[in-house]
Structures are given as structure tokens and as C-alpha cells.
Chains A and B, each alone.
Chain A
Amino acid sequence: MHEEWTDKLSDYLDGELEAADQAAVEAHLRECRDCSAVLNDLKRVVSRAQGLDVRPPARDLWGGVSARIDRMASPRRISFTLPQLAAAAVVLMAVSATLAVTLLRRTETPNTIVQAPAAAQAPSTSPAATGSGTTDTPIVERVSLADAQYDAAVADLEKAVKNGRGRLDKATVDIVEHNLQIIDQAIAQARDALAADPANGYLSGHLVEARRRKLDLLRRAAALAESD
């Protein structure tokens, strides 16, 4: 078998060769029985591939599909009604206002109030808890303020929401943006407070929660924009 020729046989079979190459292959095929046999085999392979029947799955998969689409909104339905979004905005405003007041009070108090000593806490297997044998050292999990993965996820979702903005009605866009503004404000407040008191576990927890809430809201908004 001559590989320099057989390598061209699929292209020849599919009519993909330039005229000169095609003529050269044809001339070779007239003289070479091996390559002609390979070409015939390839023709059989292609012919059988084109004649394959489809086969259904061995088990019925509809139950799984049905369960999943039941859990989501229908294609033209909006996942959240306007009153629901409005209610969410009110709750967020109330939570944000309460937290802002709390933050101001907490940042003026010693660390020992915001984080109980390790010995007073419920048993924990976390490295921070098991690594401390003293009772006067606060166990505080620091929050990374420069979480590249989080920032990238937020940026991606913000882009998705921006791109899908045209598919959402104005009232929905206004509410989503208003909620984001509130959450961003809460994040900024928590960051400022943490800058003054970096070891404050309560503030760290609040910042984590606010960031999680922002991610969640962006995910929902992106899903709305995609599904609408």
C-alpha cells in the first residue's frame, strides 16, 4: 500500500482535491490494485455510515427531563413576579439599613464581643479551631478581599446581565439594579469597617454574606435574561 496515495483517498472520495491532484490519483488508481482496493473499502465504510439507522435509548429518559423542566419556569414565563422582586428590594433595604446601624455600633466595641474564644465554641474540626489551645485568642476567619475567582464570576455575570438587558422589561432592570446598588453599598460599608478592624469576625461574616448575596442576585438576573 502506498501511503502517499492512500492519504489522499478520502479527499478524492469526497471531491475535495484540486483538479491536478484528482487526475494524479485517478492515474495511480488505474495502475495500483492495492490502492483501488483501499478506495473500495473506504467507499463501503462511508456508505454504511450514511445508511445507519437511529436507535432510541434503552430506557425511557422522559422522566428525568420532565422532572428537570418542572423545576424551572416555562420558556416564556418570568421566574420572579414584579411584586416578588419589589418585596425583595424592600427586604434588602431593611436588612441593609439594620446592618449599617449594627456595623457602626460593632466597630466601636472590642473584638472579644464579636468573636467568642475557641474554648467557648461548639466542637469544630476546622483547622482554625483545632490549631488553638488558648482561650483568649479570637478565632477569626479572615475574608479575602482580593478574591480573583469571585471577581471574575461577578464580572462574567455582570456581562451576561448587561448583554441580556434588552430582553428584560424596564421595571425588572430597575429593581435588579437597585438591589445591586444596595448590596454594593453594604459591601463597601463592611470593607471600610474591616479596614479599621481587620480581625472582626462579625464584619468578615457580613462581608462574605453580602458578596454571596450579590453573586446570587446576579445569577438570578442572568438566568432571567437568558430565559426570557
Chain B
Amino acid sequence: MALTAGEARLPRTVDDDVARAAQGDASAFERLYRTHVARIHSLTRRMLGPHEADEVTQDVFVRTWQKLGQFRGDSAFGTWLHRLAVNVVIERRRTFAIQRERISDDQTALDLATVGPARADLTLDFEAAIEQLPPGAREIFVLHDIEGYKHREIGSMLDITTGTSKRQLHRARMLMRKYLGG
């Protein structure tokens, strides 16, 4: 059905772009990408580190393109995309078989963690401090304190107990406190 002049002037919404992209419209998908890439890249960078962030971010959007047909609108597109991104990151970790080692309760990582002096640029310093966290503690810190997931949800995502999630979060916070000169 052809659009009327009035309809054609209506601003595009995310829902429009999701619907168009699901039908194979790459331009609509690019608009979705540009809207969400900063958040997804920040998630992958904080969870996996800067070296893997670009590649995994691209993986996330390719996977999104493949799965757009499954998006039913039960939640906001951004929420759905974010959860998909978390799953891609977790799969990545599992693929390299490092998940369990990094989630262990071993105190070695904490004991060996180096404590750097606080820098002038506080925002960058905070991001840099996150990168210094042992991977297991880091991903739980990112998921809980930055992304707002509950311990129960994190336990389910990472296949760990709620208790382990809590202990790793506390470890991460204590390390962050040290990194930031506390």
C-alpha cells in the first residue's frame, strides 16, 4: 500500500525500523545499528576488554539480523538486543572454555591483582580500573552494577550460584575501591 504524503512525513520510529529490517531492509537495520552500537560496544568492551570488543560487537549485530524475525515486541527492542548481546558475550567466553576458571572462588586473582594509582581523568580511570578486574569478577560487576541485572539473573546466565555471584561482586567492588585510591 502506498504511503500518503502525510504518512511519508511521519518520523520513523524504532518499531518501524525493526519491522523493515526484519523484512530485509538493510538501511533500516543500519539505523538500528547506529542507535544502539554505543551501548552494545560499551557492554562488550567492559565485559571482554578492548581487544575483542569490535569483533564481538559485529557478531552481536550479525546475530541480531539473523534473529530479527523472532523479535515479538514483548519487550523494548533495546532490551531484547541487550540481552542478545549478553548471550553472545557469554557464548564467546564459553567457546574459549575460560568461563569456569574465571568464575572460581580462588582468591589468587584478588591477591595478585595490581593496584594502580588514581589518575587525573576520573572517568577514564574508572573504565581502566574495570579492565584491570579479574575477568570473572569483572563480568559480574558489569552485569550487576552497570547493567542492573540481579544476582538471580546473573546466576542463570553464567550458570553459577547466587552466592558465587555475590562473592565475586564484592571482590570486584573492593578491588575497584583500591584501584581508585580508596
Contact = CB atoms under 8 A, between A and B. Distances in A.
B69 interface: yes
A57 interface: yes
Contacts of B29: 69
A64 B37 CA distance: 13
Given A45-B177, A54-B39, A77-B24, A72 B66 contact: yes
A16 B170 CA distance: 12
B156 interface: no
Contacts of A41: 177, 180, 182
B149 interface: no
B23 A54 contact: no
B58 A64 contact: yes
A36 B61 CA distance: 44
A69 to B, nearest CB: 5
A24 interface: no
A227 B26 contact: no
A75 B24 contact: yes
With a 10 A CB-CB cut-off, give which of A6, A11, A75 has the most chain B CB atoms. Answer: A75
Contacts of B174: 6, 42
Contact of B126 (A16, A48, A77): A48
Interface string A1-38: 00000110111000010000000000000000000001
Interface in A116-166: none
A11 B151 CA distance: 11
Interface residues of B, number: 43
B173 A42 contact: yes
Interface in A72-119: 72, 74-77
A41 B177 CA distance: 6
B69 A65 contact: no
Contacts of A52: 42, 123, 126-127, 146
Interface in B63-97: 65-69
Interface string A44-61: 111011101111110101
B145 A65 contact: no
Q: Main secondary structure on chain A at its contact with chain B?
A: helix
Contacts of B58: 61, 64-65, 68
A74 B45 CA distance: 28
Contacts of A10: 166, 169-170, 173
B113 to A, nearest CB: 15
B33 A65 contact: yes
Contacts of A227: 66, 69
Contacts of A54: 38-39, 41-42
A50 B22 CA distance: 33
B30 interface: yes
B146 A50 contact: yes
Nearest to A52: B146
Contacts of B151: 16
Contacts of A16: 151, 166
B26 to A, nearest CB: 7
Interface of A: 6-7, 9-11, 16, 38, 41-42, 44-46, 48-50, 52-57, 59, 61-62, 64-66, 68-70, 72, 74-77, 226-228
